[in-house]
A and B are shown apart, each in its own frame.
Chain A
């Protein structure tokens, strides 16, 4: 479970986050949406501990994130970054084993290889195990990164725009993987650019605008014309489709 309480953060004079609060419960997928440069990735970096907020605190599984030291953090939090470089001459299995590094210098023990293989199976990438990562497609690479995060064994998963640059089949592949992980009881926070895809898979959508969460609720509740206009400044039509909401932008003229 992730609890973000009253986070405040500014880059110099520019106040980016002004009292952001939300939570992600176990077995829940929450999509964080909003315009570009509004601070979505900054929230992720604060949760991870790369950036120190100027106010507020982050609780992970009931513990203050600041007190989670070194390898202990790996039990609670795993990240799938937006665009990760593909390491030179590294197999898929070796990449997934990077999630077991807290085991020490010889982190690729038989036990860890079994854990990594299991993570590959759960993300439907076991057949890629011996492939060089530089030969993978965008969708395959994204699923391998999710497998690495699973091999870490953390209870909470953060994903930064995991479907960016992917074509539609690969987007669906990645989101289906997240649906399976939700069933396993993971708390999943997803920074999402593609709102329509997020509505199909997220239990809740959070809209970040002007440093605050301006809407927080199930897709059907928050995806309304007025909210989209407030957040993005554009006119849209929201229609029900296949049990979800489809956001269709209107042409300017």
Chain B
């Protein structure tokens, strides 16, 4: 099976990509290590210590973790049964479903948020932090749909939903049993993948959280008024954390059958 021979140009484009994308990160890293340059310390982790020991940092982090988990759970509970049901009983709705999950990519986030605020303006949802929290979770879920639906959809397309369901029904299983014991284990890779993505997105999101005045993880940097190095250190921490998270996701959910099987050779 012939693999693609590595072209020289590949390395060229990779280098250019690394330059454009990596350089700013390196510069940021450099900055974050230099709060004590004037004092004679060219490299200092003091900004990092300050950030990590700041109680607000961990408070915001836990807040986001909670919000992330909630978003993930609700999102999964919405997408998985619906995808299953559509594939099983209403295949004509598949493109509509896909379109719905793609709309958020196209509707700008601020429009979505202002729409929510406008629609629910006379309800409890807009008064007070609790209501806004609900709006935030809802907005998160919607905003993440394009990214979270795809792995689930791919996983469902890889299995024959109809046949599995009919086999289970002929053996006497109820709907709940079928969903939990037959379907879910077979799409688990996609579900896990989707869950990781949702969580990572929720952790890094700030437009929605800032507009709805919620103290999420990424809002931490806005709260720091006195020091410029702390937000910069935070930027590095946040990026590294998310990258680590997604790399773990790649490893954990690497299913041989889910690797891109477009190479139909032999």
Q: Do A and B come from one complex?
A: no
- Give A contacts to B, CB under 8 Å: none
